Amino acid sequence: MTQTPTASSGAAITDFGIDTTAMSTSEAVRDYLARLRAGQLGSLPALLGLVALVVMFSTLSDVFLSLNNMANLLAQGAGQTMIAMGIVFVLLVGEIDLSAGTASGVAGAVLAMHYVENGNLLGGMGSTVFVLFNAGLALAALLAALLRIWPGVAISLLGIGLTVSGIPANPWIEMLLALCVGTAIGCITGFLVARVGMPAFVVTLALFLTWQGVILQFIGEGGVLGISTSPVLNKVANGNLSVLGSWLLFAVAVGGFAAVTLGGHFLRLRRGLVTQPTTIVLFKVVGITALGLAATALLTVNRSNNPNVEIRGVPYVVPIVLFLLVVGTYVLNRTSYGRHIYAVGGNREAARRAGINVTQVRASVFVVCSSVAALGAIVYSSKVGSVDPQAGGLNTLLFAVGAAVIGGASLFGGRGRVSDAVIGGTVLAVVANGLGLLRQPAAVVSIVTGLVLLLAATVDALSRRRAAAGAR
């Protein structure tokens, strides 16, 4: 006699990857509703909030749903969203990184200085600061070696090579150097938290202040390092794919999603393994295809307000964010490293007893976070065309952490996805953009953003309490 699994047993089966029963479409829907009642809300509150915000702002402003504003909205919050995608990895192990914003600012400052000084960082920093900077990169490589995080070693050493070689200004070298700086910062942070055993809150708060001082040292009080004269760096956040490129992106993205989703689904069916009902899988694929088709068709329409200028195509930040989303999702869902992250976040002691190198995993997520934050710095620096002493400051950090939490990642560890950061980042971008169109002052934007974050944290706490009560 086949026994229908309860919500709690279904959660246990999902956790341990045990395939025992198959569900019809109606059973899958009932199971999903049962998990919602049990407190497993995921990104649903954020998605419902996003729909409500879009409806509200489109009603209050005639400009909000214009093609030009929608394209601008995609680029407006891309940098902070990318930082949030890295922060998700830290949140998954139950830690926090308050230095991610200013770490990205340091990476952005080094990028801009290398461009402005035509590769002469020694001249831009001064001999003492230059030596200390490279000593910091060497220290990061050493600490990464002690943690056996070999990519951190290689990338930190590459950073030293790029700084001392004096390679002339080149946008691709600048972006690579920013990544090296971000990775090195993550190695230092991860070592202090995971190996030394210092609380992440204290370490990252101290480093938040430290990196803020480093940015000020590099740029100077009241100084600005401009990068808008570089066509490549400027186009990262302000350029668009061609119409052909936009449709190719749609074909690759949607075709890849359909191939992976349907291929995996039918493979599991052939092997007699449990999978979602085919109807639900097809519904997901059709929904994503329709959404991508509509977005691409609209963004390839000329959206320029100037009849003499044509602006078409999907913004470059879209494929950048999509690439990070795909890579991050693959790492967390399809690799042993990703499973180790969830295991450490779910129960650190159980993970240790299972043979997982908990110290290495905890340190590595800070490396991932700071590396992705450096990529975010490239995008937001490109958007404004310069780097100043406030780069990666308080608002950048708070919005990045807020984006991850609002999207559904838990502050308590063990629960979250990279897509949560994208959803939460979109919510915050819509709030800032909509209130800006309504000409609301900065005070109102901060208050509303804070309330949205508070609501998300409350939902997270209540859902975990409800899930814990259901488990008992």
- Mean predicted confidence (pLDDT) in 35-62: 82
* Domain-located, residue 293: no
Q: How many percent of the chain have pLDDT more than 70?
A: 92
Residue 211's closest CA among 394, 398, 395?
Answer: 394
- The pLDDT assigned to 270 comes to 84
Q: How many percent of the chain have pLDDT more than 90?
A: 59
Residue 280's closest CA among 19, 17, 22?
Answer: 22
Backbone angles phi, psi at 449, to 5 degrees: -60, -45
* Domain-located, residue 318: no
What is the C-alpha separation between 90 and 362, in angstroms, rounded? 8
Question: What's the token pair of residue 101?
Answer: 């914003």
What is the C-alpha separation between 114 and 110, in angstroms, rounded? 6
pLDDT tens, residue by residue, 349-391: 999 999 999 999 999 999 999 999 999 999 999 999 999 988 8
* Domain-located, residue 279: no
pLDDT tens, residue by residue, 252-302: 999 999 998 888 888 888 887 777 888 888 998 999 999 999 999 999 999
Element spanning 330, H or E: helix 317-334
* Domain-located, residue 472: no
- The pLDDT assigned to 315 comes to 94
pLDDT tens, residue by residue, 94-119: 999 999 999 999 999 999 999 999 99
Residue 186's closest CA among 460, 369, 49, 331?
Answer: 369
Region for 439 from its dihedrals, namely left if φ exceeds 0, alpha if ψ lies in -120 to 50, beta otherwise: left
Read off the pTM: 0.89
* Domain-located, residue 169: yes
What is the C-alpha separation between 259 and 261, in angstroms, rounded? 6
Total number of domains in the chain: 1
* Domain-located, residue 176: yes
Range of the domain at 374: 78-238+360-458
* Domain-located, residue 272: no
* Domain-located, residue 345: no
pLDDT tens, residue by residue, 168-221: 999 999 999 999 999 999 999 999 999 999 999 999 999 999 999 999 999 988
Model confidence at 425: pLDDT above 80: yes
Tell me which amino acid residue 166 is: G
Tell me which amino acid residue 420 is: D
pLDDT tens, residue by residue, 220-251: 888 899 998 999 999 999 999 999 999 999 99
pLDDT tens, residue by residue, 132-147: 999 999 999 999 999 9
Backbone angles phi, psi at 241, to 5 degrees: -65, 155
